[in-house]
Chains A and B, each alone.
Chain A
């Protein structure tokens, strides 16, 4: 199956700093990538849909100026959490869909963020 990687797998940072998370499709080109967030014992919540070469589409309630998404190539999308606060501590997961369709999404291993 298609492989998606994320880096870093976990990060601890001080409040007020910015954190960048990378999502890469390793063996296929992903025109669309998705960013999710999952709080403990909660469901995955879609934050934004990222299309290569265009602006991301954010879900209602997700601040686009706080969660900056860049999808500069067909194999890389980045999520930057700007001025992170403790309430941003969560499990961030990206996924990518194959160019043939959006039926199946392949998930990265996730990035666990802890903001102190």
Chain B
């Protein structure tokens, strides 16, 4: 089983749609969780951290279910500029030197 798994997509949605991405991780000792976005041929950029109680940043809502080892990202009222690949990222547990483990990403394409 891969350490971080995501649906590769692509998700093709119209502007204004709501889209949800899912991610599962295999190491129950993982401590921190993030969503990054990566534009084509660019470096990843932190979108938001994911907290156990769930958190929201504007149109973006992230949720974590530790029992199920499941992370989600919800994007409301999607914009053309949201088109990118969304990476689920997990920080390893104790002894991992703070290493980040990346999923392959889910590609989102928002159409006019």
Contact = CB atoms under 8 A, between A and B. Distances in A.
Task: Answer yes or no: are A and B bound together in one complex.
Answer: yes
Interface of A: 32, 34, 41-46, 49, 57, 91, 93, 97, 102-105, 107-110, 112
List of 6 A-B pairs having minimum Cβ-Cβ separation, nearest first: A102-B98, A107-B43, A43-B104, A44-B102, A43-B102, A110-B43
Contacts, number: 44
Interface residues of B, number: 19
A4 to B, nearest CB: 9
A42 B43 contact: no
Contact of B97 (A49, A93, A107): A49
B100 interface: yes
A28 to B, nearest CB: 16
Contacts of A105: 100
A43 B103 contact: yes
Given A103-B32, A109-B42, A43 B87 contact: yes
Contact of A43 (B45, B46, B97, B105): B105
Contacts of B43: 93, 107-110
A109 B100 CA distance: 17
B98 A32 contact: yes
Given A46-B99, A93-B44, A102-B98, 18 more contacts: A34-B100, A41-B104, A42-B104, A43-B4, A43-B87, A43-B102, A43-B104, A44-B87, A44-B102, A45-B102, A49-B99, A57-B97, A93-B43, A102-B97, A103-B91, A104-B46, A105-B100, A110-B42
Nearest to A103: B32
Interface in B48-107: 87, 91, 97-105
B99 A107 contact: no
B9 to A, nearest CB: 11
A97 B98 CA distance: 10
